[in-house]
Structure 1
Amino acid sequence: MSLLSMENPVFVTYVIAASIMILKLMGQGWVTVVRMMGTDAGLLNPEDLKPGPANRNPRPEQLEPNDYVERSRRIQRNDLENIPGFLAAGLLFVAVGPSLILANILMYAFVITRLAHTVAYTSGQRHEVRATFYTVGSVIVIVMAVYALVVALF
């Protein structure tokens, strides 16, 4: 059995967790677009003020920061800082053949912490709440990477 096949339950766990995280990462961009369209604000670039089907009434104030839109951008930026590391470390982790229980705990915990981080960020929770979810997710990625490294070295 190949470690990177659907016959390997650890790989199946990775496929599920990675797919959820990729959909979350890509979906957050769409959330930002919906927020920009809903508020008619939060545009980033001067050329966004050129009239067109998406902006029939351009105004300079559309380039001013809008917290509702910026909050979504910050969530996506945080995802971009965290999810790619999980995707890479998770694949290395699968490749070294960990136990299914360990893979399930680490990978699904990462997914849960990222989703919880988004809920905390969206609902304006204190920094300590968001930082807790970030820290747990970050430690999970580090554990997977160190595990893969140790197995590869020894």
Structure 2
Amino acid sequence: MTELDLNTPAFTAYAIAASLMVLKVMGQGGMTVYRMLKSNSGLASPEDLRPGLINRAPDPAQLEINDYVDRSRRMHRNDLENIPAFWIAGLLFVATDPGLLLAQFLLYGFVLARAAHFWAYVTQQSHETRATFYTIGSLIVIYMAFHALWKLLS
């Protein structure tokens, strides 16, 4: 095991990738809100129909599913189902002191896979295209988890 600090190149790569994924998760939530405001629809809860500064003329139709908003909500949910596992597996992985090239390949590969998944979702590519990028990211996380477990048990 290695000490985790920003002077360790593999940990630096992890910190960069993890930070980018934090920004992705938070940005996706912002994108959903932007789409709700832009379309004046796709609200999620009945209490969202209370009059306020942003929604001055609430309408029950605002609670109906709007694909423009819901697509962003689905992307956000997918991020929340996948990125936390990356944060944990990635941290355990870099704690095993992997080679720098392997660490960079896997950590940045995950970031690229999630970016490609975002692109595929936002441009309405086929399920097979999205699934390909999802699978690449998932395999990276699974490898990092098995790598850490192997090092811990050996």
TM-score, normalised by the number of residues in structure 1 = 0.98
The residue aligned with 1:3 is: 3
Partner Cα distance (1:44, 1:104) in 2: 39
Match in the other structure for 2:28: 28
Listed one character per residue, the Cα deviations across residues 100-119 of structure 1 (whole Å, up to 9, x for unaligned) are 01000000000000010001
Amino acid at match of 2:112: I
Superposed CA deviations along residues 23-75 of structure 1, whole A, max 9, x for unmatched, are: 00011000000000000000011111110112001001000000000000000
The answer (yes or no) to whether the contact 1:28–1:75 under 8 Å persists in 2 is: yes
Look up the match of 2:37.
37
Return the letter of the residue paired with 1:30: G
Specify every segment of 5 or more residues in structure 2 that has no aligned partner in the other structure, as ranges: none
The normalised TM-score by structure 2 is 0.98
Given that residues 10 and 103 in structure 1 are in contact (C-alpha distance below 8 angstroms), is that contact kept between their aligned partners in structure 2? yes
Which runs of 4 or more aligned residues in structure 1 lie more than 4 Å from their structure 2 counterparts after TM superposition?
none
- How does 1:1-154 map onto structure 2 within 5 Å? 3-154=3-154
Contact kept? 1:3, 1:94, Cα under 8 Å: no
| Identity across matched positions, percent | 59
Secondary structure of the structure 2 residue equivalent to 1:143? helix
5+ residue gaps, structure 1:
none
Q: Distance in 1 between matches of 2:115 and 2:148?
A: 25
Aligned letter for 1:53?
A: L
Tell me, in whole angstroms, the C-alpha distance in 1 between the residues paired with 2:107 and 2:70.
29
